[in-house]
Amino acid sequence: MIVLEEGQPREGQHRQFNFAVIDGSAGYRSVLSTFLLAEWPNATVEEVDPFAETLQGRGHTFGTHSDVILLGGIGTYAEACASLKRLTARDRCPPVILMVARELEPQVPMLLAAGAASVLFKDGFSRRSLVETISRLLGVHALGKKGELPGVTSTAAYPDAQRFGQFSFIANGQFNTLAIEHFRFVATLASSSLAQVFSAERIDNRKRVVVKIGLSTPIHSMEARLFCERYRFIASLNGRNVVRYVDAGVADSWPYVVLEYLSGGDLRRRMAAGITPREAIQVLFDLAGALAVVHSGNFAHMDVKPENIFFRVDELVLIDFNISTRFGNVARNRVTGDVLGSPFYMSPEQGRGMAVDGRSDLYSAGVIFYEMLTGCQPYVGESATQVIYKHIHDEIPLLPRRVRTLQPVLDALMAKDRTERIASAAELAEMMLPFLPGGEKADEYADTTPVTIAPE
């Protein structure tokens, strides 16, 4: 596989392909379309609900002008053969990729003989295999982007069971084991009602990655659109101050993403080791740059905290977009109605359950800045409710005398009324310039005494 530098186009990426996605699940169609458009942004994708537009007869026009048809919603071998027969009987039928349940694996050779150009497991496939399968059928090379793992060869006509690793966890009181293509389980990193996060490695070359399964956006629910919306935006950034997507896919009922492994660790670990005021200033400046990238897509991260700020060697990287929200929306759990986020870093408007924008993330950045400079969080309490109350009502804390000239920065970030807060991440970056090396206030922070924060 050829690995291109970031920003170089891949062969075929700008060609005008046409795809037809046929499946009875709107969420499943949306995820497939998202993966296709992430690879071929100029493509057109025709989404077809077979329950609304029956496959009976030859007169229907859907998929007629497609380069590839992806046919899902197949329950039995007989249904698959009947659908293939009706599609392939049409004049100039394009290649048909059949998306079937894993239980039909023994019948795959017969499905290929019946006219399928290729077969994928609809309840266990990766975006990479989908792209490679289509590229093989269209005669286009699927080339890797910077940050992706090299060494993937062209896919066969149907999946190899040995390419799947097993990932187990408990969700909603039930034990689940999911098959993830190309990767094997190493360890569990985090577990919650929203997501399962695993350390993993690539099966063929043992490259380290992180696998994240989003449990809050099941594939067959309308919530799948949230996964698609976030995926399209974050994947389009190609790792600019955000975690890189190595792969993605569907496992059983849930979409998942495979993320780069960030060897530099997180900000919490650096704070525990000790961080100087000058280093804190640099982190805030870099965080402003990262937030500017995220906010450029009208997305608020909504969970900016030291545990979600990592380092790619020394480059600051934001991770965990599980609750990221479009500007003007509310960050709430759609089942329980609870406010989403981390109470210690939550803006007043987020705590109130109000619509948010980028200024909510800037408030969280101010909380982190205070913690880096003082070694403690600005507001603590015996419960999450108490902490949120203090964010809404308590005065902005005063910085220690040795870093008091940074108080205007803190005040501008942690203003209770967001209309009085710094308006944008770009404005924050500009405000920090005088404190950076070479700036007129840089000498005030030449002190190399670190502030140490106890790990949680």
User: Are 126 and 183 contained in the same domain?
Assistant: no
**Cα–Cα distance for residue pair 396/407, rounded to 1 Å:** 10
Give domain status of residue 32, yes or no.
yes
Give domain status of residue 149, yes or no.
no
Question: What CATH code is carried by the domain that includes residue 212?
Answer: 3.30.200.20
Using the 8-state DSSP alphabet, how is residue 332 labeled? B
Q: Which residue has the tokens 């698609």?
A: 228
Which of 229, 260, 291 marks a domain boundary? 260
User: Are 56 and 203 contained in the same domain?
Assistant: no
**Cα–Cα distance for residue pair 410/431, rounded to 1 Å:** 11
User: Are 325 and 434 contained in the same domain?
Assistant: yes
User: Are 350 and 242 contained in the same domain?
Assistant: no
Q: What is the pLDDT of residue 149?
A: 39
Give domain status of residue 344, yes or no.
yes
Q: What is the pLDDT of residue 8?
A: 41
User: Are 368 and 394 contained in the same domain?
Assistant: yes
Give domain status of residue 155, yes or no.
no
- pLDDT digit string (tens) for 168-211? 998 878 898 999 999 999 999 988 878 899 999 999 899 999 99
- pLDDT digit string (tens) for 306-350? 999 999 988 999 999 988 999 998 876 554 556 788 999 999 999
Instruction: Compute how many other C-beta atoms are within 10 angstroms of the C-beta atom of residue 101.
Output: 15
**Cα–Cα distance for residue pair 235/231, rounded to 1 Å:** 6
User: Are 301 and 399 contained in the same domain?
Assistant: yes
Catalytic residue (one of 23, 286, 303, 357): 303
Give domain status of residue 237, yes or no.
yes
- pLDDT digit string (tens) for 99-124? 998 889 899 999 999 999 999 998 89
- Quote the tokens at residue 48: 């077809």
Q: How many domains is the chain built from?
A: 3
**Cα–Cα distance for residue pair 322/192, rounded to 1 Å:** 11
User: Are 124 and 249 contained in the same domain?
Assistant: no
What backbone phi and psi angles, to 5 degrees, belong to 383?
Answer: -150, 165
With contact defined as beta carbons under 8 Å apart, do 178 and 252 qualify? Answer: yes
DSSP H helical ranges for 18-173 = 26-39, 77-88, 108-113, 127-138
Which of 238, 260, 282 marks a domain boundary? 260
Question: What CATH code is carried by the domain that includes residue 63?
Answer: 3.40.50.2300
Q: What is the pLDDT of residue 145?
A: 45
Q: What is the pLDDT of residue 446?
A: 73
Give domain status of residue 4, yes or no.
no
Which of 260, 290, 307 marks a domain boundary? 260
User: Does 303 participate in catalysis according to the annotation?
Assistant: yes
Give domain status of residue 320, yes or no.
yes
pTM for the model stands at 0.85
Low-confidence ranges of the chain (pLDDT < 70): 1-15, 53-64, 141-156, 158, 161, 332-338, 447-448, 452-456
User: Are 351 and 421 contained in the same domain?
Assistant: yes
Please state whether beta strands 18-22 and 44-48 pair in parallel, antiparallel, or not at all (unpaired).
parallel
Q: What is the pLDDT of residue 86?
A: 86
User: Are 221 and 84 contained in the same domain?
Assistant: no
Question: What CATH code is carried by the domain that includes residue 292?
Answer: 1.10.510.10
Domain span at residue 38 reads 18-138
What's the farthest any 2 CA atoms get from each other in the chain? Answer: 80
User: Are 32 and 125 contained in the same domain?
Assistant: yes
**Cα–Cα distance for residue pair 444/453, rounded to 1 Å:** 22
User: Are 214 and 112 contained in the same domain?
Assistant: no
Give domain status of residue 310, yes or no.
yes
User: Are 316 and 432 contained in the same domain?
Assistant: yes
Q: Which residue has the tokens 């090379």?
A: 141
The rounded Cα 170 to chain-centroid distance in angstroms is: 22
